[in-house]
Structure 1
Amino acid sequence: MKNARILIVEDETIVARDIQMQLLELGYEVVGLATRGEEAIAMTAQAKPDLVLMDIQLAGTMDGIAAADTIRANTQQRVPVVFLTAYDADDVLARAKVTEPFGYILKPFSSRVLHSVLEMALYKIQAEARLREPNLYSQAILDNMADGVLTFDTTGAVVSTNAAAKRMFGFQPGDALDCGVSALVPPYMRPQLKAFLDQVQHRSPSLGTSHTREIVGQRKDGSVFPLSLSVSKMAQQGQARAFVGIARDLSPAQQGAEEIHQLAFFDSLTQLPNRRLFLDHMQQALLTSARNGQYGALILLNLDHFKRVNSTLGYDMGDLLLKEMARRLKAIVNESDLVARLGGDEFVVLLSAVGQHAQAAATQAEATVTKILQELGKPCSLDGHILNCTPSLGVVVFLANKQGLQQLLKNAELAMRKAKEAGRSTFRFFDAAMHSAVVAHRQRVSDLQRALEQQDFLLHYQMQYDQNAQPIGVEALLRWQHPLRGILPAVEFIALAEETRLILPLGQWVLEKACTQLAGWSSNPIRSNWSMAVNISPLQFAQDDFVANVMAALASAGANPQRLRLELTEGMLLQGGVEVMKKMRALREQNVQCALDDFGTGYSSLSLLKTLPLVQLKMDPSFVRDLHTNANALAIAQAIVALGHSLGLQVIAEGVENAAQRDLLASIQCDAFQGNHFALPVAVGELPLPQ
């Protein structure tokens, strides 16, 4: 399509000019050049180009993918976007696909490739325009139908609707049903709808066959109504590609259907799902578990000594207590989980998708059980009486259980009886080994909390040396003085500290101790010039007051900020975005240095590295370990050193275990070294003199 008008969006001006020349030579008209996402959006609206050639990496905070998505959503006419980028990672491609691009060109590219992709994109947009014309007539016919008509894809996303469907589900004529079909039914009905659609997709004997089901619909405002839904599938080459649904509001013919449904599926006292609805959900949970490999958990609970309330205070008081317990249970669990009353004082909680590993699932279930014990155990003030009620709970973790639903319930009941035998107001897992593991995990958390309260931690220091074997600093390494197991390295407990968020007070303690030690060395003629490296947790760095906490630790100790070096990981820098940059710049303004730890194991982009206020790259020990046995490791180490130097950064190798490794690293101009070849991590009193 000659003379097509193209907008170029590229953050590198030289590259943009080169692309402009290529486009002009190919016969296209260039309507403008943009370097930022916001500029691209504005210029698209103003210039109305035939196509936008979009780089993903742009100047400013908005990248090309976000800009393309905004263009797709805001422009009245369909403006095709072709991405032009050096990125081919799966996650980038996945984000880009959501914007429905018309092409994806990887740099570097030839004029021939550029021309081919652009011509195909322009042809596709013309073809789409031709296809839309007859669709307008079809839509007019659909909008005059009394029944609602919806089309949705195999993921359940609504693709199109007619006017009657919008009215039926409470939307305005101009609204777009930008949702999944499951949003058109209440949460408790969604498992049944999914099972119905699965049946249509996988068991329909022939194309065009319609399946009808009476279900409950949900309007935009949350109100519900009886609904007849007839669904047939559309296919290509025998495979289902989409569904067509005919929806009919049954309210005129089924006055009172909501009340009937409530009586059929919900407990009249507590308004919780009843046994019938629970069994339906449980069966669906087992099928889902088999399909996605995720564990679920079943928690059966019984109120301790509930009969005493009925016998001493009357059944009305017992009913009030049951309603209060139901309210508390609903407040504890997530919306995706289910709380049901099976009868009497027996309740059940169904947790779905609690982990892909049994132990992780058990830990998640144990956290919910602990909340239930805490909340239900609180005194109840009911009708002038203060009641204390505790539950006993049985827990079963399941994964596509082959024993069946009834056996799972029996197992949960057995576990609940074990809890009552253990003294009530507690819980038991059906699997004894799993229960022991959960208890052990809880004990480790308790031990860690106690250690933090009693300050059973200390810092060891590992020396760092320059090319002349002169000490230039230390890395502070956390140790736990365990009363039974002795001194434990951080690898033994850091993951648990992260999981429980105890890493926040623990990380601040490390900062304060390291700064205090740094200040103590200020009068030492040798150690006053040493740097102090401190590892920073992602959770710790993400706190809004992180920079303030660092500066408070330095000020309190009277330490020199220029000697403090905070070690950050590649993952932290990539995930944090603009906030990471703000914090690092704020630290640099206060003369605090930042280093990139374990470099080479993540996915840092060069464009990101050149913008970050770093002073040091720390080579990951895995490259150092394999220097003599793996040519690739040596090549990577050499590349890391060259990259660091090109960015004006010092490069230090971590994990140097012998002289041969040190010599090889020195030969490729590595600046500094750390590892057991030079010194083991030791307490401050064991560091080389003078202290």
Structure 2
Amino acid sequence: MSDADAQQAPAAGNTQALSLELLLQNLPGAAYRCLNDGDWTMEFVSEGMEQLTGYPAAAFMARPGLSYASLILPEDRPLVERGIALALAEGRSFQLTYRIRCAEGHIKWVCEQGAASPQAGMRLLEGFLSDYTRLRNADMLVREQASYLQRARDAIVAMDMNSRITYWNNGAERLYGWSAHEARGKKFSELLCENLAAYHTAYETTLSSGEWSGELAHMRRDGVCIETDTRWTLLAPDDAFGSPQKILVISTDISERKHNEAKIYRLAFFDALTDLPNRASLLDHLRRALLGSARTRKCGALMFCDLDNFKYLNDSQGHAAGDMLLQAVARRLEHCVREADMVARLGGDEFVILIQPLEDTREGAAAQAETVAAKVVAAMAAPFQLAEMTYSVSVSVGVATMCGTVDTVESTLRQADAAMYQAKACGRNTYRFHDPAVQAAWSARAELENGLRRALRDNEFVLHYQPQLDRSNRVIGAEALLRWRLPDGKLLYPAEFIQNAEESGLIIDIGRWVLRTACTELARWQRFPDTAGLTLSVNVSAGQFTEPDFVPMLQQIFEQTGVQPSGLKLELTESLVVSDFTHTAHTMATLKRRGISFSLDDFGTGYSSLAYLRKLPLDQLKIDQSFMRDVLTDQNDASIVRSIIALGDSLGLQVIAEGVETPGQRQFLSDAGCFIYQGFLYQHALSSEHFTQYARSVH
């Protein structure tokens, strides 16, 4: 070694010693070397010992000096001794936490990390002591708070933003049935939520507002659905701990509360015997129905239904039989109403039906109520089986129409009750309307309907035929028009009865009669050379044309009458075409193959559309007489008529105008390109005999 190297070596050693001493002074704790003698007599301890214990480091290294073991709390010392002995026996380092009493008298938690000295074996220990008090207290606080979450009765669940469960407390395990181990990693939405729409609503609201609260139905592990009162809270990410954004869900089981609420509600608003809504419920629904009626201007009805001679059953057979009858009556009444309507029991043998305000007029509401009332009377006619006894009962029904703009709860109840007593006064087992005007209108409607049935039975209907002429004033066909000849000889036109026929469903039977009669007449024309080329147009109602058996029925008529279908033209309305286009087009195509032609009646008054004009197998457009009335004085009507004619020409469709009454109108049509006419200018509708004479005279 050179002299220079010899001089530098001690200097380097001093520098390293100074660096080590500086490091030991700045460590947050104390490095030590001690004897493994039970008192842990210190041979060396760094200056940090004073900050840790309050005693200077020199006090521990003096002879005799302060025993470090004496600072360890007596209850912790055996644990320390066993821990060190076990580590040394296993040839490994040790890490212990225990308490010491400092010079000032307060207690600190110490974390000691150490091992046997490599040079001295198990005789010497070397290690490091640090203050663990703050970390210990923080850890205890975390553990305490975690224990609170675990002991909470509520289900507490945390999930990430992909719905995956990251935390699941004991309350969640008790409520839902899955352990934390089973639940973690599963999707909250898939594990618990049957109603995914409600889950997504809660999720989106939490993201946008930071929280959501409400009631959710959750599925337990055993498949039982439970009601929960739930609060969702959005937890912001914690960058210090690397914690991502999550949602905290706290749920309380409210199934029992909801069950009790439902029981209380049923006790308050439902009749215990029949399970129907009771008086309180009826009054509430009636009040709300009238408020809604006042807003919408719609009309409904209230019906009082009272069992006839119910007291006799109670007196003769006992209240048990009476209760059975009331329960059976309740079920039959429920089958007489629409889903939106309501059946309630006022008490005793009084039942009430609320027909919701859905009709535009009182007459419409009365018509709906009459349908229900007739069902009720008919339903009660069948005998009731009460245990071993069969019992028959009838019912008296009072009907009051209602409109929220003029009627009140009290007036509606009073009127329906009065109408019910009127029904009883009329012999029971019937129904009556309270409103005199409605009652009169309904009686007239019922009388008209009965008259229509009689007309079918007694052959009171007749067909008249209005000629259709070409530009040469030659008769080329006719339209069959329905008339009703009353027994007193008076003749009624369709406007006076056809709507009633459609509403009652009688239009199907009437339409069948019209087609059979018209085909019989057309077949007669076809037997004579001078009328064989005539066509006959017949109006067909929407209800009749959409009947499943319409085509077979027509085929049967053709076979019975021997008519050639090529002479028959069916007139359809625009509303029929639009309401069920697919079915209408199919039926038309089927009949077209049999030689029947089609005319679109009243064209331009409804839902005129080029789409169906192109797709349907039409032969003719018919200009409605409402346009013809003012065609010479109203520019709009004139333009519409010209447009229809031009449209028909462009589509290759024949155009006929009805309601032609003056030479000026005919000239206007001729100038516009329409050359087939029907109207009073030529002839009114004629009887079969007179039409044949007229057709031959101008042929």
TM-score above 0.5: yes
Q: Deviations over 1:461-520 (max 9, x none)?
A: 000100000110011011111224711111211111111111111111111111111111
CA contact (8 A) 1:460 1:684 kept: yes
Partner of 2:263: 259
**How does 1:356-375 map onto structure 2 within 5 Å?**
356-375=360-379
1:397 and 2:401 matched: yes
Q: How far did 1:348 drift?
A: 0.9
Which ranges in structure 2 are unaligned for 5 or more consecutive residues? 1-158, 172-186, 203-208, 232-249
Give the deviation of 1:331 after TM superposition: 1.0
Report the equivalent of 1:438.
442
Whether the aligned pair in 1 keeps the contact of 2:463 and 2:687 (CA below 8 Å) is: yes
Question: In 2 relative to 1, CA 389–144 (structure 1 residues): closer, same or farther, beyond 3 Å?
Answer: farther
User: What residue in structure 2 maps to residue 683 of structure 1?
Assistant: 687
* Distance (Å, rounded) in 1 between the aligned partners of 2:421 and 2:655: 62
Give the TM-score, by structure 1 length: 0.66
Say which SS state the counterpart of residue 610 (structure 1) adopts: helix
Aligned residue for 1:527, secondary structure, equals coil
Amino acid at match of 1:280: D
Shift of 1:143: 12
Describe the shift of the 1:516–1:256 C-alpha distance in structure 2 as closer, same or farther (beyond 3 A).
Answer: same
2:414 equivalent to 1:410: yes
Counterpart residue number, 1:386: 390
Match of 1:515 among 507, 516, 519: 519
Q: Deviations over 1:305-333 (max 9, x none)?
A: 11110111111111111111111001111
SS of residue paired to 1:652 = strand
With the length of structure 2 as denominator, give the TM-score of the two structures: 0.65
- In the TM superposition, residue 167 of structure 1 has moved relative to its aligned partner by 8.2
Matched residue, 1:595: 599
Q: Which residue of 1 aligns with 2:562?
A: 558
- Structure 1 portions without partners, runs of 5+: 1-135, 148-162, 182-207, 231-245
CA contact 1:296–1:361 (8 Å) conserved in 2: yes
How far does residue 401 in structure 1 lie from its aligned partner after superposition? 5.8
In structure 2, the partner of 1:476 is: 480
Amino acid at match of 1:335: E
Distance 2:309 2:212 in 1: 50
CA distance in 1: counterparts of 2:689 and 2:225, whole angstroms:
72
The residue type paired with residue 468 of structure 1 is S
**Where do residues 480-495 of structure 1 align in structure 2 (5 Å cutoff)?**
480-484=484-488, 486-495=490-499
* Partner-residue secondary structure (3-state), 2:427: coil
1:65-76 equivalences in 2 (<5 Å): none
Deviation at 1:634, TM superposition (A): 2.2
Find out whether 1:616 has 2:658 as its counterpart: no
* SS across alignment from 2:607: coil
Pair 253,543 (structure 1): closer, same or farther in 2 beyond 3 Å: closer
**After the TM superposition, which residues 30-109 of structure 1 pair with which residues of structure 2 at under 5 Å, given as runs?**
none
Deviations 1:35-57 (A, max 9, x none): xxxxxxxxxxxxxxxxxxxxxxx
Aligned-pair Cα RMSD in Å: 3.7
SS at match of 1:339: strand
The 2-side partners of 1:617 and 1:431 are apart by 45
Asked if structure 2 preserves the Cα contact closer than 8 Å seen for 1:585 and 1:613, the reply is yes
Distance in 2 between the 1:349 and 1:556 partners? 49
Contact 1:650 1:671 in 2 (8 A): no
Residue 677 of structure 2 aligns to a residue in which SS? Answer: strand
Hey, what does 1:644 align to over in structure 2?
Answer: 648
Residue 438 of structure 1 deviates from its aligned partner by 1.5
Distance 1:470 1:301, change over 3 A: same
Q: Which residue type is aligned with residue 364 of structure 2?
A: A
| % identical equivalent positions | 38
1:330-349 counterparts in 2 under 5 A?
Answer: 330-349=334-353
Could you tell me which residue of structure 2 aligns to residue 425 of structure 1?
429
The separation in 2 between residues aligned to 1:277 and 1:224, in whole angstroms, is 28
Cα displacement (A) at 1:639: 2.0
Partners of 2:512 and 2:499 in 1: CA distance: 16
Aligned to 1:288: 292
Q: Distance between the aligned counterparts of 1:449 and 1:226, measured in 2?
A: 58
Q: CA deviation at 1:688?
A: 5.0
Q: Which has the larger radius of gyration?
A: 2
In the alignment, the residues of structure 2 paired with residue 143 and residue 453 of structure 1 have an alpha-carbon distance, to the nearest angstrom, of: 80
Corresponding residue of 1:668: 672
* 1:277 alignment partner, one of 273, 281, 294: 281
**What is the CA–CA distance in structure 2 between the aligned matches of 1:535 and 1:582, rounded to whole Å?**
18
Note the C-alpha offset of 1:547: 2.0
Conserved 8 A contact 1:461-1:477: yes
Structure-2 change in CA distance of 1:565 and 1:167 (3 Å): farther
1:466 paired residue among 463, 466, 470: 470
With over 3 angstroms needed to count, the CA separation of the structure-2 counterparts of 1:648 and 1:489, relative to structure 1, is: same
Q: Deviations over 1:651-690 (max 9, x none)?
A: 1111100111112211222121000110100111112524
Work out whether residues 310 and 317 of structure 1, in 8 Å CA contact, stay in contact via their aligned partners in 2: yes
Cα distance change on mapping 1:286 and 1:248 into 2, 3 Å: farther
Which residue does 2:458 correspond to in 1?
454
Map 1:199-278 → 2, pairs under 5 A: 250-253=254-257, 256-278=260-282
Q: How far does residue 426 in structure 1 lie from its aligned partner after superposition?
A: 2.1
Deviation readout 1:196-232 (Å, 9 max, x if unpaired): xxxxxxxxxxxx9x99999x9999xxx99878799xx
Q: Which residue identity is paired with 1:321? A: L
CA separation in 2, counterparts of 1:165 and 1:249? 18
Q: Is the 8 A contact 1:354 1:364 kept in 2?
A: no
Please state how far the C-alpha of 1:423 moved relative to its aligned partner: 2.2
- Please tell me the residue identity of whatever aligns with 2:560: S
Q: How many residues are treated as equivalent by the alignment?
A: 498
Verify the 8 A CA contact 1:213 1:229 in the aligned structure 2.
yes
Pair 622,531 (structure 1): closer, same or farther in 2 beyond 3 Å:
same
Alignment-derived partner of residue 310 in structure 1? 314
The letter for the 1-side match of 2:361 is: H
Deviation of the 1:354 alpha carbon: 3.8
Contact 1:354 1:365 in 2 (8 A): no
Residue deviations 1:122-164, cap 9 Å, x none?
xxxxxxxxxxxxxx987859999999xxxxxxxxxxxxxxx98
Q: How far has the Cα of 1:631 moved from its partner?
A: 2.4
Structure 2 CA distance, aligned partners of 1:178 and 1:524?
A: 79
- Of 247-256 and 491-500, more deviation after overlay is shown by 247-256
